[in-house]
A and B are shown apart, each in its own frame.
Chain A
Amino acid sequence: MKRIAHAAAAVAMLCQPPAVASGQVPVGYQPVDSDERGLWMVMAEEERRVRDSNFVIQDPALNAYVRQVLCRTVGPRCAEVRIYLMRTPYFNASMAPNGMMQVWSGLFLRTRNEAQLAAVLAHEYTHYEEQHSLRIFRDVRDKSTVLSFLSLPLSILGGMAATTAAQFVTLATIFGFSRENERAADRGSVTLLTRAGYDPAAAAAIWEGIEAEREAAAAARGRSVRPEIALFGTHPTSRARMEELRAQAAAAPAGARESGEGPYQAALAGSWAMLVDDQIKLNDYGATELLLTRLAADGWTGSLIYARAELMRARGTADDLRHAEAWYQAAIVRPDAPAEARRGLGLTLLRRGEVAAGRAAIASYLEHRPNASDGAMLRAMTGA
């Protein structure tokens, strides 16, 4: 009986409100209660792994830029946040309760200016400031009878397939925020954007883009759009968010409305080739075409024309190859197109049976890149 009384007390304890009920984590905060200290411990372990990960983008200039945008947006408390840029070609960012922020590289292709990047960073920061992950962790724990499979034995050896507590918490922090927390973070981001002099409409614009990308991906695969992306299953739908964010932006006080397109383009200039290449290799024609077209909103640069041709050549239907040839032809006359456009043109021509022209284009590429990693193969193919 005593045990059952204890059990009842335990249930009552779980129902207590979080330690910091007002919702704002104070400056220099260190966790006190046992739930939260356990959560911080797990995240500290996770952060060790993230810090040493091969996927962390080291580029000091890009890291400095993202930090600078965060600091401008949230103020001096940005010092509490450690940012890790992760080389993962999807749209995501996450925030752990101990101040570890992860930004996936795929995000940079989907935010189009500094204000939009600031909107994502402000959104994640609001999660941190309002301690959402602790709340969601308690929430998940309390509702988790169905999740009992996550108990100890599955974490055996901490192998890739195992679900460790850290992964579980990460799942909870990355994907598990409740819709209510998402709305709170969205509201927080609009407030922070406005205060920092950024265009508050930027937040809604991101979701418009995500929605359009899903439609394009599905259309190119001849499928209907799923009502929700699994990744954001616990989040409000993009459409609902878009509308709320638009309304909030419209209600924001007047002031400077900077979008920061120039600085954003300049900061990312050195990374575009890698980001675009990672996207093209996802075999997602519709979404990639849309992203490239969006990047080309101010005109098709040589490297964007080249990227589009590469996308077509990668899918490689007869029509794709015909179009790719034309796009490569348009690229090679541009001084801002990479020499690889000649390689792409040559390979396309060879596949289309135009052997002489193909060999000539590849020879021209090899003149520009005599030490190319595929030089030996290309020389053999051209008979050189």
Chain B
Amino acid sequence: MRRLFILVAMMALCGCTTVRSFAAPEHRLPDRPLTIVVMRPDVEVSWLTAGGVAQPNADWTASARTALIGALTAEQGARGNSVRLLGEQSGEAARLVADYEALHRTVADQIAQFKYAGMILPTKRGKFDWTLGPGVRQLGEMAGGGDYALFLYARDSFASDGRLALQIVGAALGGYVPGGERFVYLSLIDLRTGDIIWFNLLASARGDLRDPEGARATIDTLMRTLPARAGARP
């Protein structure tokens, strides 16, 4: 995690946007309109105090959540796919969703460690074959059917005036004080096998997830590497 931190900090340092995706090489999306089940997005938007504490903002978070879901729906719609949000569950179903969310967090954490943070598993060289197992079918059934499940994680932050002042002072002294940053990842799961067929992560010092335009730009950038349908050229 520390290495990933350095990686992201360095990307933010050059003020650029970095996107890096991995896909299961042999997977082809079926050549027909698809249904994507979107798991409850994990979103948090904060403002950075002068001291660098990310202070969560409820309104911004709500706006970003709405904007991201809107952007996902539009982007998939343009591909002829439909998006279905997995609603709030109760009892046994809620337990099952929590279990899969926990497993996905753990798998995503291993992907981050072994595909992004510089640590390498020799058996995973040139491969991308993490999975949640075929039990994910139950999530599809819960949503009333679907071809893929999508997990979305997003963190966005904006520098407060105090933080901006600190950045100015820092720059004047020749140092670097990070300002607002956004960090988003998407993870697409085949609901028949549970395989994570595509994973894409974006880190950027630019943009704004709170407004529809910024959310769309982020989602479009991320979705650009989504594997092609079977009929299309790879």
Residues of A participating in the B interface, judged by any CB pair closer than 8 Å: 3-4, 6-7, 9-11, 14, 34-35, 37-42, 45, 52, 140-162, 164-165, 168-169
Contact = CB atoms under 8 A, between A and B. Distances in A.
Interface string B47-77: 0111111111111010000000000000000
Contacts of B120: none
15 contacts: A9-B161, A34-B57, A38-B56, A41-B58, A42-B44, A45-B44, A144-B51, A150-B52, A153-B4, A153-B12, A155-B155, A156-B1, A157-B185, A159-B105, A168-B53
A153 B13 CA distance: 13
Contacts of B55: 35, 38, 141
B106 interface: yes
Contacts of B178: 151
- 6 tightest Cβ-Cβ pairs between the two chains A and B: A148-B52, A159-B109, A7-B165, A144-B51, A52-B98, A6-B161
B58 A158 contact: no
Given A3-B165, A9-B161, A41-B58, A140 B1 contact: no
A4 B153 CA distance: 34
Instruction: Categorize the interface residue count of chain B.
Output: 35 or more
A61 B177 CA distance: 53
B218 interface: no
A160 B8 CA distance: 19
Of A149, A156, A164, the most chain B CB neighbours within 10 A belong to A156
Contact of A10 (B4, B56, B162): B162
Of A37, A148, A153, the most chain B CB neighbours within 10 A belong to A153
B157 A152 contact: yes
Given A52-B98, A142-B49, 17 more contacts: A9-B161, A34-B59, A37-B58, A40-B58, A41-B56, A52-B95, A141-B55, A144-B53, A148-B51, A150-B53, A153-B183, A156-B183, A158-B105, A164-B44, A165-B46, A165-B54, A165-B56
Contacts of B203: 153
A141 B51 contact: yes
B142 interface: no
B186 to A, nearest CB: 12
A159 B61 contact: no
Nearest to A9: B161
Nearest to B181: A152
A165 B51 contact: no
Contact of A3 (B56, B58, B161): B161
Contacts of A157: 105, 108-109, 112, 153, 185
Contact of A156 (B94, B106, B112, B164): B112
Given A7-B165, A52-B94, A141-B53, A152 B183 contact: yes
Given A150-B54, A159-B106, A165-B46, A7 B161 contact: yes
A39 B183 CA distance: 21
Given A144-B53, A165-B46, A165-B56, A153 B181 contact: yes
B161 A153 contact: no
A152 B51 contact: no
B1 A154 contact: yes
A29 to B, nearest CB: 15
Interface in B1-42: 1, 4-5, 8-9, 12, 42
Nearest to A39: B56
Contacts of A143: 51
Contacts of A40: 58
Contact of B46 (A6, A38, A149, A160): A38
Nearest to A161: B1
B58 A152 contact: no
B133 to A, nearest CB: 19
Contacts of A169: 56
B108 A159 contact: yes
A11 B94 CA distance: 43
A147 B165 contact: no
A37 B4 CA distance: 30
B148 to A, nearest CB: 20
A176 to B, nearest CB: 12
A3 to B, nearest CB: 6
Given A153-B183, A156-B112, A147 B56 contact: no
A3 B165 CA distance: 7
Nearest to B109: A159
B129 to A, nearest CB: 19
B200 interface: no
A41 B61 contact: yes
A157 to B, nearest CB: 5
A52 B55 CA distance: 25
A130 to B, nearest CB: 21
Contacts of B48: 151-152
Contact of B53 (A9, A42, A148, A156): A148
A142 B57 CA distance: 16
Contacts of B12: 153
